Amino acid sequence: MKIVITGAGGQLGKELVRILKETDYTVFPYSKKQVDIANRSQIKEMMEKVRPDYLINTAAYTQVDLCETELEKAYLINGIGTYYLAHEAREKKAKFFHISTDYVFNGEKHEPYTEEDVTDPRTVYGKSKQLGEELALATYENTTIIRTSWLYGHDGNNFVNTIKKLADYSQKIRVVHDQYGCPTFAKDVGIALKQLLTKPAGIYHVTNNGNCSWFELANEIISFLNKKVDIIPVSSKEYGLKTPRPMYSVLCSKKLNSSGIFLRNWKDGLCEYLKKEADNIDY
């Protein structure tokens, strides 16, 4: 069985390659330099060459602030590019998996979002990802959408790595305390996705168990690193973000759990991640 992974150079893509290469699947990883998902001819050529049984898309334009000014790029990659992939997957009868985000919700709910909740994104990034979801589902019935949140992985630009770097030379770090979500280790998403390969198509929320604020997450990181750094809690308004983020984007994984797939608590995932980083393990 053959699997194509687009966006294979990203933090989730790299984890998926590592995980799936240890199985009986034959993995064909493509970085964004090798295949631009916004280029339909490149996708067609790739799919014709490999003719995979599964197509997993982890490629995306995730720069939330830049998406607000680079609308065309955001919609082309996150929306139209996803459609191109879904269309080619349908043509080759390959099961299609697409990674999406908690940003498709408005963040105004006060309990975890389910797969059945109505999407209502408030940012260009969220709206472009919503478009990708809708186009993929409308194009090909054998499509699985995986929504995740607060993702971090090795060799990636993410909140955990940012706090680690800041802790090396800062005595005080200001962190938002009024936004809540599910910190999620890319490795755990990869393990869950491997199990979802044989599950029915549909929308699944895939995050580590539990939730916290960015402030709480930062404190957990600093505690593990045993650094003498003060984490200063500030409101979203005080922090002055250019683009508003969802205030509450905790995702409910009940559907995933009902399929027999369970992710560990976010603190356990974070502990493993930080330990591997500290041990300088070659990934």
- Give the active site residues: 125
DSSP of the chain: -EEEEETTTSHHHHHHHHHHTTSSSEEEEE-TTT--TT-HHHHHHHHHHH--SEEEE------HHHHTT-HHHHHIIIIIHHHHHHHHHHHHT-EEEEEEEGGGS-S--SSPBPTTSPP---SHHHHHHHHHHHHHHHH-SSEEEEEE-SEE-TTS-SHHHHHHHHTTT-SEEEEE-S-EE--EEHHHHHHHHHHHTTSPSEEEE---BS-EEHHHHHHHHHHHHT---EEEEE-HHHHT-SSPPPSB--B--HHHHHTT--PPBHHHHHHHHHHHHHTT---
